[in-house]
Structure 1
Amino acid sequence: MTTAELETVVQEALARYLPIIDEMITDPFPATDFEDGSGYGGPTHVVRVLRTSQDFWDDEYHKALQQADAEMSAALDVLAAALIVRWGDPLVVDLWSYLTAGYEGRRAPELIERLSQSAGSLQTWPVPDAGRWIGLTVGQHDTELPLELTAVVSHTPLPAASAADTY
């Protein structure tokens, strides 16, 4: 990724995605479950896809995937840096441990279980005075499908760093 491309990703993340995160923190949760092109949620949480890459069906040498991964990582990093300034270092949740715990028959909270099916980790921050927490992750539902930069807001208890900490 060139410096100019990286700068474009950074500026877009700050100008476009940070306001969405701010709205997610203050907006009321929906009364009923929903799922649409922008995400999903319900009375306890909202998940929004902030950025979606192309798909990778014809990416034989994984060049497009590498480019998309670099862009998503840059956007995630700049958003995380903005949230670190506000609320300090994140708690990093090992979603992979929740996925493997699910294979062993242990049930994680629905939100964490669903996130674990596409992402390996989730950076989370409690939001003071809001009774909520915010999370950021990059995930992919299958190797040919797009990468997604996702923001999560919930008023459920903050997830433990790993499934091992909860069982």
Structure 2
Amino acid sequence: MEFLIFLLLIVVVIIGAPITISFLLYRWIKKKRFNKKWRLISFVPILILGFFIYRAIYPDFDFYEEDFEQVVEMPFPKSGEIRYKIASYPDHFGDYTSSFLIELDKEDMDRLESQILNIGFKEVDNTMSSEELDYVESKVDSKEYLKQYARNLDADKYFSIGFLNDGRSVIITRASW
């Protein structure tokens, strides 16, 4: 119960502070009788808050490149292009699931496959299922898995990598719980 009250207090402060700052800034600008256009400045704290909320819900490509580097323990390839991506919102422990499809050239595909075998991925018949993985798979037209690999890490993280039969596409899923 105490935790919920603390969590509610944090949410009120995080959301309430920018709104209060915007309101006070608006009142100050109005009281000083500045040009009405300057009143728009008072909305900057709310816009900043909105930007951070948007970025938390819809992460950018850097987020998925970092996930790639965590999963396969190698830098994101220069030829890599993220086509489809989705991630769940982290829970209060920071655990989340992300899934994304990248396209690579032949050289990077070979390098990726040898790297994942070196770090302990095992070939499997099918990987886990998640809403995020289902979403990415639904975006793929008539491509089937050629090979699938999986790896459990520290009993609370699961990584899966699926090579598609077009010779360019890879679906990577990272889940933690």
Query: One fold, TM greater than 0.5?
Result: no
TM-score (norm 1): 0.31
Structure of greater relative contact order (alpha carbons < 8 Å, 6+ residues apart): 1
TM-score (norm 2): 0.29
Higher helix share: 2
Of the two, which has the highest radius of gyration?
A: 2
